[in-house]
Amino acid sequence: MTLWLVLCAALAAGWLSNRYAWWRSPADWRHPRVLMYHMVSPHRPGAKFNGLRVTPERFDAQLAWLQREGWQFYTVSELWEHWDTLPEKSVAITFDDGYADNLHNALPLLDKYDAKATIYIVVDRHDRDWSTAKKAHHNTGELAREPKLSDDELQRLVASGRIEIGSHTLTHINMGTTSAADKRHELAESRRLLQAQTGQAVASFAYPFGIYGEEDVALARAAGYTTAVTTIDGIDARTPRPDPLQLKRIKISGKDKLLAFALRMRGGKRGWKK
pLDDT over threshold 90, residue 257: yes
Predicted confidence at residue 142, as pLDDT, reads 86
Domain boundaries, the chain: 27-267
Predicted confidence at residue 106, as pLDDT, reads 98
> For residue range 137-176, what is the model confidence (pLDDT) as tens digits?
556 788 889 999 999 999 999 999 999 999 999 999 999 9
> For residue range 50-77, what is the model confidence (pLDDT) as tens digits?
999 999 999 999 999 999 999 999 999 9
Q: Of 78, 89, 70, nearest to 26 (Cα)?
A: 89
What is the rounded average pLDDT of the residues 169-188?
Answer: 97
Predicted confidence at residue 140, as pLDDT, reads 74
Predicted confidence at residue 13, as pLDDT, reads 44
Q: Name the average pLDDT for the chain.
A: 90
Predicted confidence at residue 46, as pLDDT, reads 87
**Which phi-psi region, left, alpha or beta, contains residue 191 (left: φ > 0; alpha: ψ -120 to 50)?**
alpha
What is the rounded average pLDDT of the residues 226-251?
Answer: 97
Q: How many CA atoms lie within 13 A of 18 on its CB side?
A: 6
Distance CA 35, CA 261 (A): 10
Confidence of residue 129 (pLDDT cuts 50, 70, 90): confident
Q: Of 77, 96, 118, 90, nearest to 227 (Cα)?
A: 77
pLDDT over threshold 80, residue 9: no
Cβ burial 105-131 (10 Å sphere, 16+ → b, else e): bbbebbeebebbbbbbbbbebeebbbb
Q: Of 181, 149, 147, nearest to 165 (Cα)?
A: 149
Predicted confidence at residue 17, as pLDDT, reads 46
Contact 173, 182 (CB under 8 A): yes
Cα angle value 198/168/45 (rounded, 5°): 105
pLDDT over threshold 70, residue 227: yes
For the question of whether the overall pTM of this predicted structure is more than 0.85, the answer is yes
Confidence of residue 232 (pLDDT cuts 50, 70, 90): very high
Distance CA 141, CA 154 (A): 23
> For residue range 11-40, what is the model confidence (pLDDT) as tens digits?
544 444 455 555 567 799 999 999 999 999
Domain 27-267, second-level architecture = Alpha-Beta Barrel (3.20)
